[in-house]
A and B are shown apart, each in its own frame.
Chain A
Amino acid sequence: MSSIAHTQKRGFTSTVWEYLTTVDHKKIAILYLLAGGFFFIVGGIEAMMIRIQLAVPNNDFVSAGLFNEIITMHGTTMIFLAAMPLLFAFMNAVMPLQIGARDVAFPFVNALGFWLFFFGGLFLNLSWFLGGAPDAGWTSYASLSLASEGHGIDFYALGLQISGFGTLMGGINFLVTIINMRAPGMTYMRMPLFTWTTFVASALILFAFPPLTVGLFMLIFDRMFGSGFFDVAMGGNTIIWEHFFWIFGHPEVYILVLPAFGLFSEIFPTFARKRLFGYSSMVFATVLIGFLGFMVWAHHMFTTGLGPVANAIFAVATMAIAVPTGIKIFNWILTIWGGSIKFTVPMLYAVAFIPSFVMGGVTGVMQAAAPADYQFHDSYFIVAHFHYVIVGGIVLGLLGGAHFYWPLMFGTMLSEKLGKITFVLFLVGFHLTFFIQHFLGLMGMPRRVWTFLEGQGLETGNLISSIGAGLMALGILVLLVNIVITQKNNIQVGRDPWKDGRTLEWAIPSPTPFYNFKQLPLVRGLDAFWIEKMEGKTDMTPAEPIGDIHMPNNSFVPFVISLGLFIAAFGAMYHADEGKDWAIPVLIIGMLITFGAMLYRSVKDDHGYHIHKEDLLDEAEGGTR
């Protein structure tokens, strides 16, 4: 195993096996992109069903019960199974290259994180075919979710538990990678902002996911194993769930939006052809947002009745977050200011992001005022607010990032023309869908309602909203067509296709070699590649002579560990049913598979292999042929 034979053409089965066992961050990124993209489509179809149902009054497109399942799965899927993995796709694809690393710190754990997420998401979505999806909303408040019949909530709790483990591992992995694996000269204050936001988001993951784990364990125990955490008749307290959910749930918002901020912070300087304005204040604002993100969870619970003192404290803390966010907004604007701007598709998304996200931020500050929130709570105003933040911030970031980093991940360039069509359809559709919902909410339309009556002034607004959703769906369809055409034509665009790449990821050959950097680069400042370009060089200055490169071996074990938990989850879920004696054995077998695979991993030595210096030199000659 010492050659570069890896890069040769493979058959179909061998490609599948390669991806099932891969520990290469670039391939794991593609897996995250595929799986996240798939769940994004699923969540989008659910969104379309919601808007079809609400397009006209007294509609019966779906039943009330099914509607509850659809809204629950739409929210859960979009947050946990679409937005998170899509951001993880970019973190995996870009961050190690940005800091000049040959791989992440724990390639094996990276693969394990993906497979846990994937099996968790699969388990959750199997609920559609196995007796009904969860129907207590994505927040799954305990007083409601304990009363939910069938296995829907069980799918929710177990599926999120499994995928949550995966996310936690991903977070630890990125933290260690950024701290330990930076190239010579890559000091913290020279790290590109996407790396910084990955770093802070990972720290948030590390501290925000354990409370969710505990909350989900208690939900699992209450529903499947007879405990009484949330059961008031047994002395339990249903508010505990709300606290844990939001102690996780609020940082989760920043876990999602900070990497999106990072993507925009890469796009703006590239296409304004000007270094990021206020770099150090951007870093400071990122860290501050991450810190304050943990201080504000109870603003989701203003109407729960925590009392005026708690509400006041959390209101002030919430408003404080607007300050670092405002710093970021002004820095982006000042980055564009006076730049030599190129309106490529990623830049269009970035420019559209600023006003869209600010609108979501402003309504956020409105809700931070606790007395006012009593009016907004559980109305469509809230729905409008968080979609402005999530779609206007995160989804625009993901779409912009996808166009921006497509050449890095696949070596091809998405069509700018189709990209602009997607952009216009999506942006117009987005504002059409959600702007009017502010007013629907203020007029009294509660969120999560299955239908509404005629003559209450809600018809026009809802119809407009549904038309907007259709435009967004069209935009995504055009994007899919764009992707298919681009990949079919497969025109390789080579290194630095935007011509103005500033950071290390654009300095490596395309397609990226599986070992990333033949020689680790010497980083001489912020925007390392740009510095070299300005001195008339085309390559980074190497920091080391060509030598052997240590690489990790592929492994099928991550898949098996995750599969074990997937199997065990079925056992845990069905053991409470009458006459299902097979459930406990299934639970035990599943856990044995998982722990057995972990033991195998522990006792079986895995030293990886080396790419020899001679092979690297040979390859270099081959390249010049």
Chain B
Amino acid sequence: MAAEQKFTPQTWPESPEQATLEGKNKFLGFWFFLGGETVLFASLFATYLALKDSVPSDTHAKASDLFELPLVFLMTMLLLTSSLTSVFAIYHMKNYSFKKMQQWLFITVVLGLGFLACEIYEFYHYYHEFEHKFTSSAFGSAFYTLVGFHGGHVVFGLSWIIALMVRNAKRGLNLYNAPKFYLASLYWHFIDVVWVFIFTVVYLMGMVG
């Protein structure tokens, strides 16, 4: 089967993710999917901006009461770094060095888990310290939906990368799984880009007022 053909670093194609028709289709289809995801997040951002600080009474916490830069900065650093490490992983994928790719993917996953832990702590903190809940105000609903959708994407992306690492641990790279690794990393970048906007629109603009 052509897809399971063995390669050496010399025979490995330059863009293995697009070397087969299936890979080409996946590559293009996934970009389109990300286009749709962009609209999805744009809609969530619009909702958040419309409902920001929209609370039933003054006893509810507002954005400027909630957010603190140090934690969010840490989360941003974790996620941005994880995006960089996934670039390294794909660099090694393109050079047919499977082990190095797996190592960098492992670091990516660890950083992603770190981000997720911070986010869980953050939500827990808002919930208990500020009574800022999904069901307490429209602001709360919009905040947890936007940031939570992003968090859900992080969970899905981590599960995806882990599944690929485990599944292919013993057989190395071929033209069948190269597109899969590539797309998982593309997805991870997208999550990162969305976070940049969340950091700006939700947190920075929230703290300014």
Residue A240, interface by CB 8 Å: yes
Check B73 for interface membership: any CB of A closer than 8 A: no
| Chain A residues with CB under 8 A of B40 | 210-211, 213-214
**In the complex, per-residue mask of A199-240: 1 if CB is within 8 Å of any chain B CB, else 0:** 000000011011101110110011001111101011111001
Choice from B29, B54, B135 contacting A105 with Cβ under 8 Å: B29
B50 touches A227 (CB 8 A): no
Given A210-B36, A210-B37, A235-B21 contact (CB < 8 Å): no
Q: Considering the complex, which residues of chain A in the window 73-128 have a beta carbon less than 8 Å from any beta carbon of chain B?
A: 105-106, 109
Q: Mark A51-71, 1 if CB is under 8 A from B, else 0.
A: 000000000000000000000
Q: How far is the CA of A173 from the CA of B25 in the complex (A)?
A: 9
Size bracket of the A interface: 35 or more
B6 at the interface (CB under 8 A from A): no
The answer, among B28, B37, B138, for a CB contact under 8 Å with A235, is B138
Distance between Cα atoms of A226 and B160 in the complex (Å): 31
Given the known inter-chain contacts A207-B39, A236-B54, A603-B163, please indicate yes or no for A228 contacting B135, CB distance below 8 A: yes
A239 to chain B, nearest CB (A): 9
Whether A362 is near chain B, meaning CB under 8 Å from some CB there, is no
How many B residues, CB 8 Å from partner?
39
CA distance A168 to B43 in the complex (A): 16
Segment of A32-40, A174-182, A295-303 engaged in the interface with chain B: A174-182
Nearest-neighbour CB distance to chain A for B193, whole angstroms, equals: 16
Q: Which residues of chain A are near B50, meaning CB under 8 Å?
A: 237, 240
Of chain A, the residue at the smallest CB distance from B164 is: A602
B29 engages A106 (CB within 8 Å): yes
In the complex, the chain A residue whose C-beta lies closest to that of B38 is A210
A176 adjacent to B29 (CB under 8 Å): yes
In the docked arrangement, what's the CA distance between A240 and B33, Å?
A: 24
**What is the CA–CA distance of A180 and B25 in the complex, to the nearest angstrom?**
7
Cβ-based interface call for A172 (8 A): yes
Instruction: Please tell me if A618 contacts chain B, counting CB pairs below 8 Å.
Output: no
Q: What is the chain A residue whose CB lies nearest that of B29?
A: A176
CB pair A226 B135 closer than 8 Å:
yes
Determine the chain B residues whose CB is within 8 A of the CB of A179 once the complex forms.
Answer: 28
A168-B25 contact, Cβ under 8 Å, with A214-B43, A221-B141, A225-B134: no
Asked if A218 and B145 sit within 8 Å, CB to CB, the answer is: yes
A599 within 8 Å of B (CB atoms): yes
Q: A176-B28, A218-B145, A605-B176 are in contact. Are A234 and B138 (CB under 8 A)?
A: yes
Contacts of B51 in A (CB 8 A): 229, 235-237, 240
Q: Do A168 and B36 form a contact, CB below 8 Å, given A106-B25, A234-B138, A599-B163?
A: yes
Asked if B87 is an interface residue, CB under 8 A from chain A, the answer is: no
CA distance A551 to B22 in the complex (A): 12
Cα distance, A602 to B176, chains bound together (Å): 11
A235-B54, A607-B3 known; A229 vs B25 contact (CB < 8 Å): no
Q: Which chain B residues border A181 with CB–CB below 8 Å?
A: 25
In the assembled complex, A244 has its CB within 8 A of some CB on chain B: yes
Q: A105 touching B134 by the CB < 8 A rule?
A: no
- A226 to B144, alpha carbons, bound, how many Å? 13
A228 to B50, CA, bound (A): 13
Within 8 A of A (CB), among B14-52: 21, 24-25, 28-29, 32-33, 35-37, 39-40, 43-44, 47, 50-51
Q: Is B66 an interface residue (CB 8 A)?
A: no
Q: Does B137 make an interface contact (CB < 8 A)?
A: yes
Q: Would you call A228 and B137 a contact (CB within 8 A)?
A: yes
Q: Tell me if B55 is interfacial: C-beta within 8 Å of chain A.
A: yes
Residue B139, interface by CB 8 Å = yes
A237 vs chain B, min Cβ distance (A): 6
**A452 CB to nearest B CB, Å:** 39
A236:B141 contact, CB within 8 angstroms: yes
Give Cα A221–Cα B167 distance, bound, in whole angstroms: 36
**Which residues of A sit under 8 angstroms from B47, Cβ to Cβ?**
214, 218, 229, 240
Most buried by A among B4, B33, B135, B138: B138
**Contact between B21 and A180, CB atoms less than 8 A apart:** yes
Interface residue? B158 (CB, 8 A): no
Complex Cα–Cα for A3 and B36 (A): 39
Question: B44 touching A214 by the CB < 8 A rule?
Answer: yes
Q: Which residue of chain B has the shortest Cβ distance to A233 in the bound complex?
A: B56
B36's partner among A172, A228, A240, A244 (CB-CB below 8 A) is A172
Give a binary string over B125-137; 1 marks a CB under 8 Å from any A CB, 0 the rest.
Answer: 0000000001111
Partner of A228, one of B44, B138, B164: B138
Complex CA gap A583/B40 in Å reads 28
Cβ B32 vs Cβ A206 within 8 A: yes
Q: Mark B169-209, 1 if CB is under 8 A from A, else 0.
A: 00000001000100000000000000000000000000000
Interface contact A176-B25, CB-CB below 8 Å: yes
Q: Does the CB pair B29–A229 fall under 8 Å?
A: no
Nearest B residue to A202 by beta-carbon distance? B32
Residue of A106, A173, A602 with highest tally of chain B CB at under 10 A: A602
State in angstroms the CA–CA spacing of A616 and B43 once bound together.
Answer: 51
Bound Cα distance A226, B141 (Å): 9
Quote the shortest CB–CB distance from B130 to chain A (angstroms). Answer: 15
The answer for the CA separation of A209 and B33 in the assembled complex, in Å, is: 12
Closest B residue to A222 by CB, please name it.
B141
The 9 nearest A-B residue pairs measured at CB: A227-B141, A235-B54, A235-B138, A226-B135, A236-B138, A210-B40, A214-B43, A210-B39, A105-B25
13 contacts between A and B (CB under 8 A): A175-B29, A176-B28, A210-B37, A214-B40, A221-B141, A229-B141, A229-B145, A231-B138, A234-B56, A234-B136, A234-B138, A235-B138, A240-B51
Report A's interface with B, CB cutoff 8 A.
105-106, 109, 168, 172-173, 175-176, 179-181, 206-207, 209-211, 213-215, 217-218, 221-222, 225-229, 231, 233-237, 240, 244, 247, 599, 602-603, 605, 607
Supply 16 further A-B pairs (C-beta < 8 A) apart from A176-B29, A227-B145, A235-B138. A105-B28, A175-B32, A179-B28, A206-B39, A207-B36, A214-B40, A218-B145, A226-B134, A226-B135, A227-B134, A227-B141, A234-B55, A234-B138, A235-B137, A240-B50, A247-B43
